[in-house]
Amino acid sequence: MNQITPPPRIEIIPATAPFSEGQRSWLNGFLAGMLSLDGSTPLSPGQNDAVLSPAGDGDDGEAPWHDQTMPIADRMKLAEGRPLRRRMMAAMAQQDCGQCGYNCNDYSDAIVSKAEPRLNLCVPGGKETARMLKTLNEELEKSPAASLETGSEKETWHIDFDLSGCGLDYVVGDSFGIFASNDLGHVDQIIALLGASHTTEVRGKTLRDVLRDDVSLAPAPDTLFELISFITGGAQREKARALAQGEDPDGDAATLDVMAALQKFSGVRPHPEAFVEALEPLQPRLYSISSSHNATPGKLSLTVDCVRYVVGKRKRLGLASTFLAERIKPGDELKVYVQKAHGFALPQDPKTPIIMIGPGTGVAPFRAFLLDRKATGAPGKNWLFFGHQRSDCDFFYSDELNAMKTSGLLTRMSLAWSRDGDKKFYVQDRMREVGRELWTWLAEGANIYICGDAKRMAKDVERALVDIVAQFGARSTDEAVRFVAELKKKGRFQQDVY
Ligand SMILES: Cc1cc2nc3c(=O)[nH]c(=O)nc-3n(C[C@H](O)[C@H](O)[C@H](O)COP(=O)(O)OP(=O)(O)OC[C@H]3O[C@@H](n4cnc5c(N)ncnc54)[C@H](O)[C@@H]3O)c2cc1C
Ligand SMILES: NC(=O)c1ccc[n+]([C@@H]2O[C@H](COP(=O)([O-])OP(=O)(O)OC[C@H]3O[C@@H](n4cnc5c(N)ncnc54)[C@H](OP(=O)(O)O)[C@@H]3O)[C@@H](O)[C@H]2O)c1
């Protein structure tokens, strides 16, 4: 691992982001306004979210109604024209009192995402809030897509990094390692559960800094349950001991992150030093690089799908994806490294045709391949299979890819939208449709690449490839399996799946 000093400066450049032209021009204007501010002014996560998420709903993240002294009518006026989730937030009493189990922002998000069906939880808002939420919820019910507002169920970010001066270099196919830090709000909730002070010194730092930067707050490790079993008794002790041994006494083990474990054993307050010792170190996360050094020297970009989900009433955040999405701001320096790819690269001969299959964020390294081939004038033919949920909101880099198609750099582009029609339609379905041509490319010596989801997509795509080889290459299934295995052995079939 090559950790660098000084780390690169990050800048976020929506000009190359996977937005439509309209979104991009709005975002450019908005971001230009933000950047003209003093760079040292931190953006709130909400602002970042609104500015940079392509799946964003055009909201600017501001909440001018967030004033508990303001009457509901004035709050609703200020929220006019905003997305439903923001109007729902405005209907609440703005006290962030937690009586509903959320803060106002999270309660409205939970209702709109349908994770929370109850509309009467805002105690200080009383009947006024409940009535307004009911009215707004009717709007939600009328439009099945309203919960998404923009239609996309994904929140995917394009992030540009400035590597100048940090000595890092990469080639297309490499990945970028990010050392992220935990969300401070989450850290503070854990400190409150411990009944400790932020400034308690642990490992020569404050407890708050250690919990933010050094330890994982995600799955509760066995060692934490061991610690809990040492400092408690009776049934609690038995339960903690069982969990420490990988058993699941209450059927909730899979959902127990560090905070949920402290809540499960409420009242157990380990000493901060012992607590930190029981946690795992915070690990970096890898992302496929979606830029080419040959095209934009000193720059590097990533295409990141944001991991957020709800368990019970609590919003869970993927560590690094939400760090990149909402906890950094232009100009920040990050701890990063380049992970060299092993067996995932453009062919050595620039004339070799390539077939790239990358649904979702799997498109990232293929954008890099194409930009690189353009920059180096590689004459080989290029065929991209891209797929995602909906054509109108999930077509990443559409302007760029369409321009590459028009210019002839992208010889073929085959698209598959899984949720545009009544039936799922995936990249491998498109591959089967054009199996004859795909086989011809392979027979001409093309390399084939897959990037993206490892659990289902990559296996299904490989199966489709075997079927295509069997059908159009006039082989039995066994022979086709051997043919594909041979492609892999020769380095002509490469994968970057996660
Ligand atoms: C070589 C490589 C390249 C990669 N390239 C990319 C890329 O280009 N773009 C990209 O976006 N990612 C990429 N990834 C994945 C990336 O590294 C991270 O794994 C991903 O961003 C999640 O990390 P996180 O820290 O945000 O989430 P974490 O804190 O690691 O949380 C993720 C975990 O949350 C849990 N989880 C997630 N969703 C749910 C749910 N709905 N319900 C319950 N539990 C859930 C699962 O246990 C999951 O493992 C790549 C991975 C590798 C290894
Ligand atoms: N563990 C899982 O089950 C799982 C599933 C998906 C993604 N992920 C992870 O989520 C992260 C980001 O995902 P992403 O943004 O790249 O998008 P994604 O969730 O992988 O989705 C991209 C596209 O692939 C489709 N898809 C789903 N199953 C498929 C299959 N078996 N074969 C071909 N296509 C399939 C999706 O359709 P639909 O969504 O309409 O089905 C969507 O249109 C990755 O880290 C990935 O590993 C995990």
User: What separation in Å is there between the alpha carbon of 498 and the centre of ligand 2?
Assistant: 11
Lookup result for tokens 């939600």:
140
Residue 454 CB less than 6 A away from ligand 1: no
pLDDT for the residue numbered 218: 97
pLDDT for the residue numbered 169: 95
Closest ligand 2 atom to the C-alpha of 154? Answer: 15
Per-residue pLDDT in tens (0 to 9) along the chain, 498 residues: 322 223 333 334 334 444 444 444 434 333 333 332 222 222 122 222 222 223 345 566 778 899 888 999 999 988 887 778 889 999 999 988 878 888 898 899 889 888 888 999 998 999 999 999 999 998 888 764 443 347 689 999 999 999 998 999 999 999 999 999 999 999 999 999 999 999 999 999 999 999 999 999 999 999 999 999 999 999 999 999 999 999 999 999 999 999 999 999 998 999 999 999 999 999 999 999 999 999 999 999 999 999 999 999 899 999 999 999 999 999 999 999 999 999 999 999 999 999 999 999 999 999 999 999 999 999 999 999 999 999 999 999 999 999 999 999 999 999 999 999 999 999 999 999 999 999 999 999 999 999 999 999 999 999 999 999 999 999 999 999 999 999 999 999 999 999
Bridging pattern class, strands 156-162 and 299-305:
antiparallel
Cβ burial of 335 (10 Å; 0-12, 13-18, 19+) is: middle
Residue 285 CB less than 6 A away from ligand 1: yes
Closest ligand 1 atom to the C-alpha of 219? Answer: 47
User: What separation in Å is there between the alpha carbon of 349 and the centre of ligand 1?
Assistant: 33
pLDDT for the residue numbered 97: 84
Nearest-CA residue for ligand 2 atom 31 is: 457
pLDDT for the residue numbered 43: 18
Residues 319, 160, 415, CA angle at the centre, nearest 5°?
85
pTM: 0.77
Closest ligand 2 atom to the C-alpha of 153? Answer: 39
